[in-house]
Structure 1
């Protein structure tokens, strides 16, 4: 059985392979080719933390995966990462354990960021360059890095806002050090009004900014709302958007960013990202559209990124 730690996993990871596998996983999910168990949520409000357990199998693949991922958001103040967890893979024909990937949450962070980048690339205007990232944690960094890798033909300019300005400044300095165009912003409302792309990566339980600030043609990718009670965007922004896209409708409407809007409008119309990536849905049809993506994270992503590591390990094994 394969047993890998975080450094070994990172050494085996190939970004382009993971992007292609995750793209295909979204499509497989939308087409009904993924068996997915109900998400298990455990909340630890006294520690400002939560844990998610996701599981699933993509038809025709050799393994099924169970993923455990936690987020304890006060950890950075203790000198600890906010994310942790592991991936467990089993043979889909015998049930034998195939791999334990002790990634400490790294694979979850990466697959989430790749999903966000795929959604943003698919739905943002062709001339969109001004990217506002709200939040300055691990996922905010991953989103910026993956989006820049996935859209190298654009001269993306990042603005970073966080409740803690020093965290935003630290993230900006880190990204500048790797060649990105970045600035820290203090006026969130002005930044929202000037952005072509907005990416939210927080644990907020109420809207981060007021309704009416997002300009025509903007694309928003909302990452943070992944369990009941979380919300990052104004409800009216979601209900009046030109197009609402999610990774999995039953998750999004139940515990994603769209949960609040769906309670306001029981007939709220959403499409799944796999429909856009496969070409079954046109996605954005006008530069004037306001498009909103709600990503709750799906087991198909975990299966896809886990298999990339298993395959990479197999290809480097001299036996």
Structure 2
């Protein structure tokens, strides 16, 4: 069996290389090519941790993918990354395992970062330049790297953290990018001064108040990917002009929009599929005064897209049927 290490995967320029495939992964959900069973979710509340199992297939692909991804949110205090996991690529022709991608969460982090950028860029205003990043973990760093790599315009970032030390640590990790990045502990000011905001925390209570968000602001909410998580004021979700989702059934069940949905403030009719926006089938932002929010809970087609891209770049797809099991 072929095992691809995290080090091999980290050497690939996947933030740019996989972006077209991840973009298509969202469109596949809206044009009928994607087979996407429900997500497996295992909470570990006593350890401030959880595990997701995602799997799916895009019609015509040579592989399907099964992924195990864990989040242990106390790990950074122990000097360990919060995310971990692996992906198994299986031949769609024979059912044999093509490769195990022992990425230890890297591919999930990267595809999430790419997905955030792909959702943010069509929904921000044309003059958006000031980007607020809420959080100081791995995903805060990856979101900045993805936007810097994929954006068609110069951007200025401000990173919010509960402590200035943690926010400054993000800046230190991004020093190689030569980007204008500032750190702050003042979340209200960050929100009021940002053209677009990306939230990346595992918060279980709202961080961003509705009255901090001015007309024209875009928000990409990444953190609420499991029951009990929430980063945005429920009133903010309810008043937004456009609500965009990666997958409505996930977002309304356990995403950022779930609290507003349970309160009866929004329903599926208010939700617009990101894939439909990307394909041009549905309009995203309609005016410079729209408040737009994208709720991304993570979908298996993203995992398929980045795994396929990596295996193809490594030359492991062409002529490979997989071993029988």
- TM-score scaled by structure 1? 0.96
Give the secondary-structure state (helix, strand or coil) at the position aligned to 2:185. Answer: coil
Matches within 5 A, 1:217-296: 217-265=216-264, 267-268=267-268, 269-296=270-297
* 1:32-80 deviation per Cα after TM superposition (whole angstroms, max 9, x unaligned): 2111121111111221111100000001111110000011011111121
Q: Secondary structure at the match of 1:52?
A: strand
Structure 1 contact 199–221 (Cα < 8 Å) conserved: yes
Unmatched segments (≥5 aa) in structure 1: none
Q: Distance in 2 between matches of 1:60 and 1:296?
A: 25
CA contact (8 A) 1:13 1:312 kept: no
Name which of structure 1's ranges 114-123 and 155-164 shifts more when overlaid on structure 2. Answer: 155-164
- Change over 3 Å in CA distance of 1:12–1:170 after alignment to 2: closer
Tell me, in whole angstroms, the C-alpha distance in 1 between the residues paired with 2:147 and 2:221.
Answer: 14
Distance 1:187 1:69 in 2: 32
Counterpart-to-counterpart distance in 2, 1:233 and 1:14? 30
Within 2, Cα distance between the matches of 1:267 and 1:305? Answer: 31
Partner of residue 195, structure 1 = 194
Q: Is the 8 A contact 1:13 1:308 kept in 2?
A: no
RMSD: 1.7
For 1:137 and 1:29, the matched residues in 2 are separated by 29
* Contact 2:16 2:149 survives alignment (8 Å): no
Q: Which residue of 2 aligns with 1:312?
A: 313
Does residue 110 of the first structure (1) align with residue 120 of the second (2)?
no
Distance in 1 (alpha carbons) for counterparts of 2:15 and 2:297 = 21
Cα displacement (A) at 1:30: 1.7
Shift in Å at residue 2 of structure 1?
A: 2.5
Question: Partner of 1:54 in structure 2?
Answer: 54
What is the alpha-carbon distance in structure 2 between the residues aligned to residue 244 and residue 105 of structure 1? 28
Residues of 1 paired with 2:62 and 2:208: CA distance? 45
Please state whether the residue corresponding to 1:302 is helix, strand or coil. helix
Equivalence for 2:169: 170
* Cα deviations by residue, 1:172-218 (Å, 9 ceiling, x for unpaired): 23324420101111211111111101100000111102221101100
**Cα distance between partner residues in 1 of 2:2 and 2:13:** 15
Distance 1:241 1:267 in 2: 13
Conserved 8 A contact 1:176-1:182: no
What whole-Å deviation, never above 9, does each CA across 1:93-117 have from its counterpart, x for those lacking one?
2111111000000000000000000
